[in-house]
Amino acid sequence: MSFLVDRFSRSMSYLRLSVTDRCDMRCLYCMPVEGEPHESRSEVLTFEEIRRLAGILCGLGIRQIRLTGGEPLIRSHVPDLVRMLAGIDPLPELSLTTNASRLSRMAAMLRAAGLARINISLDSLDPEKFHRITRGGRLSDVLDGIDRALEAGLAPVKLNTVVLRGVNEGEILDLIEFAGSKGVENRFLEVMPLGAVGYENRAGFVPAEEIRGIISRKYRLEPLPFRDGSTAREFRADGGRLRFGIISPVSERFCATCNRLRLSARGRLQLCLGHEDGVDLRPPLREGWSDDAITDLILRTVREKPAGNHFATDPEPVFQIAMSGIGG
Ligand code: SAM
């Protein structure tokens, strides 16, 4: 049961927690080459502050916490944060989304600290194209990271691909075969018009229907039942050997069953990816508010969660800050 209920009777049980807005890659649909202006260290929540807010939110009904960013694994000592979050009662399921540049040396530590599952961004299997899309990333690091995550027992491992026309839509079938060979699942994402670069890349938008079409030319797709709160329409193919999901925040919104909240690295509780509504929780934390007072503020804010995004209809970029700032 969740006390985090909005005016549309949606219950929040999932928190995406950005641990840093910095990133060591510059994916062309996510961050400009020069990067985004980032928060100074003192503006970013400490692990103790994150743990306190996460504890309050789990007490109110959050059951899953996903660490993200920016690149979560470039913040020092992230396994310590995972261990701290694993001490919350009731224990939330802990997961992480990463570009895997540093995953190979950290996977076992993260698992030992209490991380359950992991999503790894992988937009191409071609080293040069991967380098181009990420503007500097090394594919071999990511492939090593996937193997180490599997060895460490992180499960499930999922591979996230943002599909862009003229860039990687021709690799969808290869990515599915690759995931099948590793026994992991794909997630294909529609590009969202977030921030300046997301908006610029809307010309590369490939709708979910077209992604399904590309896959169904080779495989007979078996749709899996839609799970409330999930953002992916999931499918099996080839007798269950292949599993993938398509995340379609633009063409087939899933806002009516949204169960998500986001906490930015500087402590802003954000209600929806497509709107700026939210509340800054860092001042209350640093001004010594009690847990009860912070709880009240959170409950009042959550009630105002917007009905949904307008990615498909807004003529302008929906947001002036990029995914890295919101905790994508
Ligand atoms: N650095 C980590 C990573 O690369 O996975 C975590 C943060 S990243 C912002 C989280 C996910 O958001 C990645 O899978 C990335 O591809 C996706 N993403 C970023 N910008 C996007 C956009 N404009 N539209 C859709 N997905 C986007």
Mutate to test the pocket of ligand 1, among 97, 161, 191 (most ligand atoms within 8 A of CB): 97
Indicate the SS3 state at residue 202.
helix
Which atom belonging to ligand 1 lies closest to the Cα atom of 197?
A: 23
How far is residue 244's CA from residue 239's CA, in Å, rounded to a whole number? 13
Decide: 120 in ligand 1 pocket, CB within 6 A. no
Model confidence pLDDT, tens digit, residues 60-77: 999 999 999 999 999 999
Mutate to test the pocket of ligand 1, among 121, 123, 146, 231 (most ligand atoms within 8 A of CB): 121
Q: Is 44 exposed, middle or buried (0-12, 13-18, 19+ CB in 10 A)?
A: buried
Which atom belonging to ligand 1 lies closest to the Cα atom of 193?
A: 23
Which atom belonging to ligand 1 lies closest to the Cα atom of 23?
A: 1
Task: Determine which residue's CA is closest to atom 13 belonging to ligand 1.
Answer: 121
pTM of the model: 0.96
- Residue written as tokens 């470039």? 74
- Any residues with CB less than 8 A from the CB of 190 and at least 6 apart, and which? 162, 163, 205, 206, 207, 208, 246, 247, 248, 249, 250, 251
Model confidence pLDDT, tens digit, residues 184-229: 999 999 999 888 787 787 889 999 999 999 999 999 999 999 887 7
Residue 320 clears pLDDT 80, i.e. is over it: no
